[in-house]
Amino acid sequence: MMTKPVGLSRDEIEIFLAQEFPQIFVHGKIWEILDCAPKTATMRMAYHESQLRPGGTISGPAMMTLGDLALYVALLATIGHVPLAVTTSFNVNFLRKPGPRPLIGECRLLKVGRRLAMGEVALRSEGETELVAHITGTYAIP
Amino acid sequence: MMTKPVGLSRDEIEIFLAQEFPQIFVHGKIWEILDCAPKTATMRMAYHESQLRPGGTISGPAMMTLGDLALYVALLATIGHVPLAVTTSFNVNFLRKPGPRPLIGECRLLKVGRRLAMGEVALRSEGETELVAHITGTYAIP
Amino acid sequence: MMTKPVGLSRDEIEIFLAQEFPQIFVHGKIWEILDCAPKTATMRMAYHESQLRPGGTISGPAMMTLGDLALYVALLATIGHVPLAVTTSFNVNFLRKPGPRPLIGECRLLKVGRRLAMGEVALRSEGETELVAHITGTYAIP
Amino acid sequence: MMTKPVGLSRDEIEIFLAQEFPQIFVHGKIWEILDCAPKTATMRMAYHESQLRPGGTISGPAMMTLGDLALYVALLATIGHVPLAVTTSFNVNFLRKPGPRPLIGECRLLKVGRRLAMGEVALRSEGETELVAHITGTYAIP
């Protein structure tokens, strides 16, 4: 690898996601990149009733989708467009039931190697300090 | 706990899911319980284009949703309707990219205690023997 | 729970571990609590040749033992002596091979509820900034 | 990769471990390979007081060490001597407290690819059918 990889900007990532992953916007544009830079990304997932569970809480899979996306956006912001990067492992601890409100996912990559990237995502309800879930994930880089 | 918990039948679970989780059928009835009994459940997720990723593979979050649902159905088939059972941890290893075909999730509960249940789910493309992903998850039982 | 739980001090934890877990000092006192306070603990594991693997790196199980101990010390520093608290899940991502030097484990508890505690541990070689491993673990509190 | 990798036999693995990992026998030969073949291994860990915790149960790190070793033995039995294969992730769910008796670890590799291997290990007390812990782990193959 002769040249240093160059991460994508927030705008470039928004365009890329809209082109390549239109299906994540099937319920409207509920995902938003609040911020990203090499090794970090902050995402917001608007509240949408398709994600609700009985009791008004947000479903586990909706939270996992936000975590997966935050990891991917942080990776794009670090090493740029890597078409075949794939999640290899994903681990979630659910800590509190989030209320029916937007969720914020803050991702921090802890390693970006040539073959493997690994990061963690803290999920919180918007405006809260306590975590609703903690996620770790690894990506294989081809 | 004086009385032994009684698991729900396949039909009872189908009705329960349709009532309580209508949003998982937002793309039509793509989920189906092929089989369930105490400590086991086999689920089928039909192929739907909203789950695709570039290259024709099924998204990680779609696979995680199938795994989460298979664990929940196996729990319902074992201890019956437990309104406040919640996933506490969830771990996935992605092993191969599944093609654009239905996925089968086979869940086996490895422990069903009074406070905690734990199980694993093997995910395969329909008709295949090799795993596309392996999932473990735990449920807290109130 | 009428009274607020009171965490143990560094000295109280040292005495408790020496009494209750003499076997973790079987190779001499290679573990040391550098610092602890409610929800955090920093541990140091001295280098010992029984932990080596070919190539001079420290074994995975030795790193996991350090992580497990850091979580336990942080829990003792938060809620005090809980005899029957048990680890329920433990997840490690190994990021780099540590050299034959002491390891530092920094634990931060992300949740301490009535029934469940969850935390993460960052492992580094002494004097380094990059992580050699990242650990998450959960404890059931009886 | 032109030639098919050839796994090691039980005897070859025993000799290899004794040469390369003498430190795992620091308490005497408490580890034994009961059986191994491509993609599987069954290990026995004799009871040793250094592994005990208060209440007579076996420590989490001792169980994790057994799981890590069972994965490694199954890998050696499948692809032979791979000096730089390293564990990349390791996940444990502790299900029951084992009594002060030998533990049996049954490992099954679910994927052995060119770059990544993944397997699971079921841990039981000798003579019992119920699991005391379930482990999944991944290995990077250089």
The one-digit pLDDT tens for each residue of chain D (142 residues) are 445 668 999 999 999 888 877 666 666 678 899 999 999 999 999 987 766 666 678 889 999 999 999 999 999 999 998 777 889 999 999 999 998 899 999 999 999 998 899 999 999 999 999 999 999 999 999 8
Chains with at least 3 CB pairs less than 8 angstroms from chain B: A, C, D
Q: What residues in B contact C138, CB-CB < 8 Å?
A: 88-89
What pLDDT score does D54 carry? 66
Domains of chain A: 10-140 (3.10.129.10)
What pLDDT score does D2 carry? 47
What average pLDDT is seen over chain D? 89
Average the pLDDT over C128-136 and give the result. Answer: 97
Q: What is the pLDDT of residues A84-142, one digit of tens each?
A: 788 999 999 999 999 889 999 999 999 999 889 999 999 999 999 999 999 999 999 98
Q: How far is CA C19 from the centre of its chain?
A: 17
- Angle between helix D10-20 and helix D60-79 axes, rounded to 10 deg: 120
Instruction: Report whether pLDDT(C52) > 70.
Output: no
Higher pLDDT, D67 or A19: D67
Q: Is A136 on the interface with B (CB under 8 A)?
A: no
Q: Is B116 on the interface with A (CB under 8 A)?
A: no
Q: What residues in C contact A122, CB-CB < 8 Å?
A: 110
The pLDDT-based confidence of C3 (bands split at 50, 70, 90) is low
What pLDDT score does B7 carry? 93
Q: What residues in D contact B130, CB-CB < 8 Å?
A: 111
Nearest CA to D133 out of D141, D115, D121 is that of: D121
B18 CB-near residues (< 8 Å, 6+ apart): B25
Q: Is C23 on the interface with A (CB under 8 A)?
A: no
State the best of C71, C76, C90, C139 to mutate against chain D, taking most chain D CBs within 10 Å: C90
**Cβ separation of C54 and D97 shorter than 8 Å?**
no
**Cβ separation of C136 and A96 shorter than 8 Å?**
no
Q: What is the pLDDT of residues B75-103, one digit of tens each?
A: 999 999 877 788 999 999 999 999 889 99
Nearest CA to B45 out of B116, B132, B115 is that of: B132
- For the beta sheet containing C86-94, the strands, ordered from the edge strand earlier in sequence to the opposite edge, are C31-37, C40-45, C103-112, C116-125, C133-140, C86-94, D86-94, D133-140, D116-125, D103-112, D40-45, D31-37
Nearest CA to C23 out of D126, D23, D27 is that of: D27
Distance CA D45, CA B138 (A): 26
Closest partner residue to A136 (CB to CB) among C91, C111, C138 is: C91
Instruction: Report whether pLDDT(B5) > 50.
Output: yes
Tokens of D128: 């019992």
What pLDDT score does B2 carry? 47
B61 CB-near residues (< 8 Å, 6+ apart): A61, A64, A65, A68
**Cβ separation of A136 and C134 shorter than 8 Å?**
yes
Distance CA A20, CA A27 (A): 16
Helix ranges restricted to H, chain B? 10-20, 60-79
D90 C-beta neighbours (distance < 10 Å), count: 25
Nearest CA to B70 out of B121, B16, B111 is that of: B121
Q: What is the pLDDT of residues D37-54, one digit of tens each?
A: 999 999 999 987 766 666
Instruction: Report whether pLDDT(A1) > 50.
Output: no
Residue with tokens 């033992």: C65
Tokens of A120: 């963690």
Nearest CA to A32 out of A24, A40, A44, A41 is that of: A44
Distance CA D37, CA A52 (A): 47
Q: What is the pLDDT of residues B32-87, one digit of tens each?
A: 999 999 999 999 999 877 666 666 788 899 999 999 999 999 999 999 987 778 89
Higher pLDDT, C28 or A107: A107
Average the pLDDT over C49-53 and give the result. Answer: 67
The ipTM assigned to this model is 0.90
State the best of B17, B20, B23 to mutate against chain A, taking most chain A CBs within 10 Å: B23
The pLDDT-based confidence of B1 (bands split at 50, 70, 90) is very low
Q: What residues in D contact A116, CB-CB < 8 Å?
A: 88, 140
Residue with tokens 């921090």: A108
Closest chain D C-alpha to A86 CA, distance in angstroms: 13
If contacts are CB pairs under 8 Å, which of residues 66-105 in chain D contact chain A?
A: 88-89, 91
**Cβ separation of C96 and A111 shorter than 8 Å?**
yes
**Cβ separation of A60 and B90 shorter than 8 Å?**
yes
Instruction: Report whether pLDDT(C2) > 50.
Output: no
